[in-house]
Amino acid sequence: MASPAPPSRPMTLLEWGLLISLSVLWGGSFFFNSVAVAELPTFTVVVARVVLAAVILHIVLRLVGQVMPTGRTVWLAFFGMGLLNNVVPFTLIVWGQSHIASGVASILNATTPLFTVLVAHVLTTDEKLTGGRLAGVALGFGGVAVMMGGAALAALGGDLVAQIACLVAAISYAFAGVFGRRFKAMGIAPMATAAGQVTASSVLLLPVMILVDQPWTLPMPSTAAVLAVIGLATLSTALAYILFFRLLASAGTTNLALVTFLVPVSAILLGVLLLGEVLAPKHLVGMVLIGLGLAAIDGRLWRLIRGARNP
């Protein structure tokens, strides 16, 4: 059973802001991954991501005067979180993206809330499955599928092993969300939790990279690949996990999982704003469905409507 957390409730405006910010940071990870895996093998990308993020977070912790916890129980929890939230999903998604398109990977990643509401229902006492949550998750997933378009949906029939890998990554994220609730109860700050998680992940992954990838034998990567890895580490990992654990402590597992619905929205809007891409009708329809799904899970809008109809 997971450690207790605050009872499930609608998120505050600050928490919604943090969730949207996290979606932007993670939306960039699919782009960074696609650039990096074109030149670097899977474990090299993943290890570079978590090691650099760990260095950054430890430097920031020292600058702000926070001290890393040293207890055996705490570090066992860090290793468990690192395995569920970094080692397994990062490796499977990066490997999967070397075989399937980013759009397909995004759709499969959007199944995370589906698995999360089920895992939280079984393993927690305060995040039980409700009709509103189930309807919201279904609407949100439908919105992601519509946004990705028919080509991505058609591609779901190919390269089954890579797609299963991305689904297993989503399941691992679901268990990580429940597992990570314990850090608030242990009194560990979000930044220290983020640093401990990526440090433990680095320790687990570094020997695997040395044995499998033998990075000293690889050709020198291009500037684009190096910058992509730096972006993964600084933005999509170090900064993102500070927000992740802050939200997990205050908003709960199921609410936090909603970020995977917002990631495609963030990626498309960034493309429109920064790259001059066109916002297609399917994107608008998908965003509406995602918005309705988020509203259903949040619950406040429906309660207001019911209150207006039944004063």
Residue 7 is predicted with a pLDDT of 43
- Classify the phi-psi angles of 9: left when phi > 0, otherwise alpha if psi is within -120 to 50, otherwise beta: beta
List all residues 6 or more positions away from 281 whose beta carbon is below 8 Å from its beta carbon. Answer: none
- Classify the phi-psi angles of 149: left when phi > 0, otherwise alpha if psi is within -120 to 50, otherwise beta: left
Assess if residue 289 is contained within a domain: no
Residue 79 is predicted with a pLDDT of 96
Q: Mean pLDDT, to the nearest integer, of 254-278?
A: 73
Q: How far apart are CA 294 and CA 111, in angstroms?
A: 14
Cα–Cα distance list, 27 to 80, 246, 268 (Å): 25, 19, 9
Fill in the DSSP letter of residue 126: S
Residue 4 is predicted with a pLDDT of 45
Q: How far apart are CA 123 and CA 252, in angstroms?
A: 13
Residue 59 is predicted with a pLDDT of 94
Assess if residue 176 is contained within a domain: yes
Enclosing domain of residue 249: 13-19+28-127+150-253
Assess if residue 235 is contained within a domain: yes
| Confidence band of 307 (pLDDT split at 50, 70, 90) | low
pLDDT tens for 101-153 read: 766 777 777 778 878 888 888 888 877 777 777 787 788 778 777 776 666 66
Greater confidence, 217 or 299? 217
Assess if residue 236 is contained within a domain: yes
Residue 6 is predicted with a pLDDT of 43
Assess if residue 89 is contained within a domain: yes
Greater confidence, 311 or 221? 221
Q: How far apart are CA 94 and CA 24, in angstroms?
A: 19
Q: pTM for this one?
A: 0.77
Q: Mean pLDDT, to the nearest integer, of 193-199?
A: 93
**How many helices (DSSP H) and strands (DSSP E) are in the chain?**
16, 0
Instruction: Name which of 41-45, 209-213, 294-298 the model is least confident about.
Output: 294-298
Greater confidence, 279 or 162? 162
Percent of the chain whose pLDDT exceeds 70: 86
Assess if residue 137 is contained within a domain: no
Mean pLDDT (the chain, rounded): 82
84 pLDDT more than 90: yes
pLDDT tens for 278-299 read: 677 877 887 788 777 777 766 6
Residue 303 is predicted with a pLDDT of 63
Assess if residue 277 is contained within a domain: no
Assess if residue 278 is contained within a domain: no
| Confidence band of 81 (pLDDT split at 50, 70, 90) | very high
Number of domains composing the chain: 1
pLDDT tens for 231-263 read: 999 999 999 989 988 888 888 777 787 787 787
